[in-house]
Structure 1
Amino acid sequence: FSGDGSSRTWMATLEELRVAELESRECISADLLYELGNALDVVGRFEEACGAYRKSLAEEEAADARLNLGSTLVALGRNDEAEWSIRRGFQKLGWPPPECAVDVNPAPDVLSGAVRL
C-alpha cells in the first residue's frame, strides 16, 4: 500500500458500486439490506445506513411471523397454506436467494375472506 490514501479511495469506490447494485434490486432480503447498511456506512451515508439496518430488522421480524404462522397452520392441518407462509418466511430471510426462487404457487387466502399476507 502506498500510504497516499489511494487504497482507501479504491475501497470506497467498490462500496459505492455495491451500494448502487443493491439499491437497483427490485426485491431485497433481510441479509442484503444488512449488507446495504454496511456498504452505506463505508461510503459515509450514515442516515441511509440506519434506515437499511432498521428495514433489515423489520424484514427479519416479518419472516419470524410468517414462519410462526406456518407452523401453527401445520398444527391445524392446513398444509397448503402453511407451505406458502413458510416459503415466504424463508424468502424474507434471503433463502433461497431471489435469483434462485421460483414462485409456482399463487398465494392462498391465509386468513379468512379477502385478507392476504
Structure 2
Amino acid sequence: MKRVLAIAFVLALLPCLAFPQVMPGPYMQISGVVVTSRGVPIPGCLVRLQNPDVGLSYPVSTGPAGDYYFPEVPTQVRTLYVIQVFWNGSIIYNGIVYQPGLQPPITIPVP
C-alpha cells in the first residue's frame, strides 16, 4: 500500500517537473516615460508610485528624456500600485500599475 501511494505521489508531481513555476522575487522594477500628446518627453516631472493600502510611496523625477525608473518595488504587496505625475506641485496624471516592467507612455495633454 505504501508503495502504491509513493508511486501515485511521484506521478502527481511529474507535471510540476515538466512545467516549472517561476516565482517572482521580492522586488520588481517599474519604468516608463512621460510625454506630451505630441510625443515630446517631459523632463523634471515628479512621478510618485504609491500603495495607499500599506502606506508605501516612492517619488522620482523624470530624466531629460522624460523617463522614470523604480528599481526595487516590493512584490509582497498584493494590491495595485497607483502612479501619479506632478508638475509644479499640481497633479497632472493619476493611474494604476497593473504589471511590473516597462509601462505604456504616460501621455499628458498639452494645449
TM-score (normalised: structure 1): 0.30
Larger radius of gyration: 2
TM-score (normalised: structure 2): 0.32
- Of structures 1 and 2, the one with the larger relative CO (CA 8 A, separation 6+) is 2
* Structure ranking higher in helix proportion: 1
